[in-house]
């Protein structure tokens, strides 16, 4: 019975069905299935399958986003019970993320945040038009492992350099990894401004974050 | 007759128009500027201040369309130069804004510099097919630009750096300049500069040396500060090019026609605002609709669907009788070569056959983030070829060579005929500027140059022969003073 439930949970993620994922989460709670088991043995294998299909070119970004949304729907239902039971899902790392000052484009940043959240990272999203100093303040406040800075415009990407400088000025550089992204950003740009990494899309950002924190996939 | 291509039937255009009216009347647009909402409310729009949603009745849209002029000419600093809209011409607009330069031959990449900007701008100044300046290069290399990434001769910040960028544009480009200001404050400096360079507000109103590029934020948002920056030009009759950039599947719905509906609605919303702010102000219909890469979510410059969108843009503008600026991406290739060439050729042929007034833009690759001067010249060559296709096969009823076969008779030649000479001179043949079109031996004897090497050599020759058109000393001093005031304003001492 539980095995069937886990299979259905996996499939709800593969199909990107948030409603079904939520219903199955409620069913798990009603039948006494451990919330942690539901996440780790039910839903996470679905995400893994979607990630593998995406890498093979058999699934596309909308599949990934729908899968992530379904995962979020399930976790939101399971999380209160998980906390109440004293259990805790292992956090891969804490990430402060935002779009740089002067830039109000948020979709790319949101995609990265959602992908990282699905992969088990704790996300602190500062939104858009964020001053460089705010990244440093938030990183200190939540003891972040990673700061992610997005910029869509060539005219605002120069601000990513300011975030690196703000993290240095705040004395956080040795314990915070800085990653940059956005259409004009490149690995060369990341190197030039002293960032730790660059990824070209949300999916690649998960691998990058894991690599920077020494986490095996 | 000229070659024409239509991707939308007359009924398709009417359907897109009606769907747009319904979207604007029922869903509306979020207008993040109080001034804009007040103007639209006065004009007859329905404004919900709690949500900032503005809904547009049919009558308001139709009246605004009636107010927008169909014919006008963009001007520039070059004496006598004008770019007539809606009169059958098509001119290139530079693309923008590359943060990376690539060596066409080695593929080596580096951050762009002021010198890259200068080279591209000087080439564009001397290429007749390019009529409109965009900042093709955003100089991001440390030490070569201000905080805003504006080309300039030294680092700077804030309004002074931006002002210097515009000054530099007019100094090196004497045709039309299209750009944006990000805030009303920046617009103030821009208008002062235009007044100084062109002899005051009335001269600017008549000559139209600047058009304001205004980009709604898809879907259905007019950003506050950016839109206010445009509204601050209201007394100057600055043409506005309205360029929503919905990305099919990401910031636009997942079909080409629905993406056209969205972009069309956003243009109409801004058109209503522009006419409410300054009745009769020229509006250029300029959506740059794109498509998302379904594998990454990135903007793609090379998808072939962009050609369909570029043509649809032109056809919807013609449906309204408005001047049109079409954009069709460019290429996703990282360096000039086979992919860049086939994507550009496919991407431009269809929209050029639809024949917009303005077409964006040559020279950039990699989703409009990478510049190559070699690619710039290659792209102009693609445009020339597509424009030749557009000019068409000719008019059989008015053909100057119609009597030639009878005159030469059986077994003769047409080579020594005056009609033949005149036909070559009049452009019946497109004479290539680049590429190998002679014999193999001649090509070998000339150094067996690849077309990229040839393009590089051509660019070098053009730059060596280029002559600047500097400001006169009096104007240069006046602009120095303006820049000094802008710097002082940043320090809070103005």
pLDDT tens-digit series, residues B305-339: 999 999 999 999 999 999 999 998 789 999 999 99
Mean pLDDT for the stretch of residues B465-486? 95
Q: Is the pLDDT of residue A51 over 90?
A: no
Q: Is the pLDDT of residue A217 over 80?
A: no
For the ranges A60-69, B146-155, B364-373, B398-407, which has the lowest average pLDDT? B146-155
pLDDT tens digits along B203-253: 999 999 999 999 999 999 999 999 999 999 999 999 999 999 999 999 999
* Interfacial residues of B (vs A; Cβ cutoff 8 Å): 97-100, 109-111, 138, 140, 142, 145, 147-150, 182, 217, 223, 249-251, 292-299, 367, 369
Rounded CA gap, B169 and B364, in Å? 18
pLDDT tens digits along B33-47: 999 999 999 999 999
Q: Is the pLDDT of residue B491 over 80?
A: no
Contact assessment for residue B245 and residue A105, using Cβ atoms and an 8 Å cutoff: no
Q: Which residues of A touch B97 (CB under 8 A)?
A: 153-155
- Indicate the domain borders of chain B: 1-392+405-494
pLDDT tens digits along B172-204: 999 999 999 999 999 999 999 999 999 999 999
Q: Do A158 and B140 touch (CB under 8 A)?
A: yes
pLDDT tens digits along A159-192: 999 999 999 999 999 999 999 998 888 888 899 9
pLDDT at B296: 81
pLDDT at B14: 98
pLDDT at B64: 98
User: Looking at domain B1-392+405-494, does it have CATH number 3.20.20.480?
Assistant: yes
Average pLDDT, chain B: 93
Q: Is the pLDDT of residue B145 over 50?
A: no
pLDDT at B140: 62
Classified as helix, coil or strand, B187 is: helix
Of residues A103, A145, A108, the one with CA closest to residue A128: A103
Which band of pLDDT confidence, cut at 50, 70 and 90, is reported for residue B494?
Answer: very low
The CATH number of domain A93-212, selected from 3.40.50.280, 3.40.50.300, 3.30.70.120, 3.30.70.260: 3.40.50.280
The token pair that represents A4 in the structure block: 């069937």
Which band of pLDDT confidence, cut at 50, 70 and 90, is reported for residue A105?
Answer: confident
Rounded CA gap, B86 and B91, in Å? 12
Instruction: Nearest by CB to B99, from A62, A108, A154: name it.
Output: A154
Mean pLDDT for the stretch of residues A11-26? 97
Rounded CA gap, B291 and B301, in Å? 8
Q: pTM for the complete prediction?
A: 0.88
Class of CATH domain A2-84: mainly alpha
pLDDT at B156: 54
pLDDT tens digits along B248-301: 999 999 999 999 999 999 999 999 999 999 999 999 999 999 999 998 888 888
pLDDT at B161: 87
Instruction: Nearest by CB to B149, from A54, A155, A186: name it.
Output: A155
Instruction: Nearest by CB to A155, from B109, B138, B296: name it.
Output: B138
Q: Is the pLDDT of residue A56 over 90?
A: no
* Helix intervals (H) in B433-491: 440-445, 451-465, 473-491
- Indicate the domain borders of chain A: 2-84, 93-212
A93-212 shares the fold of A2-84? no
Q: Do B149 and A154 touch (CB under 8 A)?
A: yes
Q: Do A107 and B250 touch (CB under 8 A)?
A: yes
Q: Over pLDDT 90: what percentage of chain B?
A: 87
Q: Residues B336-373, buried b or exposed e (16+ Cβ, 10 A)?
A: bbeebbebbbbbbbbbbbbbbbbbbbbbbbbbbbbbbb
């Amino acid at each position: 019975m539980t095995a069937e439930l886990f299979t259905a949970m996996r499939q709800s993620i593969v199909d990107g069905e948030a409603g079904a994922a939520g219903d199955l989460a409620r069913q798990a709670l009603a039948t006494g299935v451990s919330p942690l088991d539901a996440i780790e043995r039910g839903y996470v294998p679905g995400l893994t399958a979607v990630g593998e299909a995406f890498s093979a070119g058999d699934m596309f970004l909308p599949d990934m986003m729908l899968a992530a949304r379904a995962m979020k729907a399930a976790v939101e239902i399971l999380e209160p019970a998980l906390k109440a039971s004293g259990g805790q899902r292992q956090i891969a790392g804490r990430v402060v993320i935002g779009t740089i000052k002067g830039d109000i484009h948020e979709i790319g940043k949101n995609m990265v945040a959602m992908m990282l959240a699905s992969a088990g990272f704790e996300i602190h999203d500062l939104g858009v038009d964020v001053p460089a100093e705010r990244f440093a303040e938030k990183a200190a406040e939540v003891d972040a492992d990673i700061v992610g800075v997005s910029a869509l415009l060539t005219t605002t990407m120069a601000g990513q350099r300011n975030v690196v400088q703000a993290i240095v000025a705040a004395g956080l550089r040795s314990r915070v990894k800085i990653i940059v992204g956005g259409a004009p950003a490149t690995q060369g740009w990341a190197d030039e401004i002293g960032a730790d990494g660059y990824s070209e899309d949300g999916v690649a950002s998960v691998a990058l974050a894991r690599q920077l924190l020494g986490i095996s996939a | 007759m000229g070659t024409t291509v239509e991707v939308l039937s007359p009924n398709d255009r009417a359907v897109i128009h009606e769907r747009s009216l319904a979207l604007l009347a029922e869903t509306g647009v979020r207008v993040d500027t109080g001034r804009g909402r007040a103007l639209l409310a006065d004009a007859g729009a329905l404004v919900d201040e709690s949500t900032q949603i503005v809904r547009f009745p049919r009558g308001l849209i139709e009246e605004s369309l009636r107010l927008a002029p169909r014919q006008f000419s963009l001007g520039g600093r070059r004496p006598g130069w004008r770019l007539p809209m809606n009169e059958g011409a098509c001119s290139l607009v530079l693309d923008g804004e590359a943060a990376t330069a690539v060596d066409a031959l080695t593929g080596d990449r580096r951050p762009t510099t002021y010198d890259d900007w200068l080279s591209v701008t000087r080439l564009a100044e001397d290429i007749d097919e390019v009529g409109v300046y965009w900042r093709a290069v955003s100089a991001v290399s440390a030490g070569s630009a201000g905080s805003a990434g504006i080309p300039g001769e030294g680092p700077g910040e804030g309004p002074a750096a931006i002002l210097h960028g515009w000054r530099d544009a007019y100094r090196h480009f004497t045709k039309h300049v299209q750009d944006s200001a990000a805030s009303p404050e920046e617009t103030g400096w821009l208008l002062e500069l235009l007044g100084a360079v062109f002899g005051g507000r009335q001269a600017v109103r008549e000559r139209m040396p600047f058009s304001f590029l205004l980009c709604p934020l898809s879907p259905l948002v007019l950003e506050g500060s950016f839109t206010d920056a445009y509204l601050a030009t209201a007394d100057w009759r600055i043409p506005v090019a309205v360029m929503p950039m919905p990305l099919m599947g990401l910031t636009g719905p997942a079909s080409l026609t629905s993406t056209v509906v969205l972009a069309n609605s956003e243009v109409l919303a801004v058109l209503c605002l522009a006419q409410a702010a300054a009745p009769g102000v020229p509006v250029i219909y300029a959506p740059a609709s794109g498509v998302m890469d379904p594998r990454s979510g990135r903007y793609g410059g090379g998808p072939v669907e962009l050609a369909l969108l570029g043509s649809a843009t032109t056809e919807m503008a013609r449906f309204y009788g408005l001047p049109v600026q079409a954009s069709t991406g460019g290429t996703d290739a990282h360096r000039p070569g086979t992919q860049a060439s086939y994507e550009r050729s496919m991407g431009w042929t269809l929209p050029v056959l639809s024949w917009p007034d303005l077409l964006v833009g040559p020279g950039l690759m990699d989703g409009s983030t990478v510049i190559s001067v070699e690619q710039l010249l290659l792209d102009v060559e693609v445009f020339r070829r597509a424009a030749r296709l557009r000019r068409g096969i000719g008019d059989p009823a008015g053909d100057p060579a119609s009597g030639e076969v009878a005159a030469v008779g059986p077994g003769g030649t047409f080579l020594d005929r005056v009609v033949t000479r005149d036909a070559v001179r009049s452009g019946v043949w497109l004479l290539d500027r680049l590429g190998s079109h002679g014999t193999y031996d001649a090509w070998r004897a000339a150094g067996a140059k690849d077309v990229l090497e040839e393009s590089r050599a051509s660019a070098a020759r053009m730059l060596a022969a280029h002559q600047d058109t500097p400001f006169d000393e009096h104007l240069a001093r006046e602009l120095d003073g303006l820049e000094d005031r802008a710097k002082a304003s940043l320090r809070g001492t103005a």
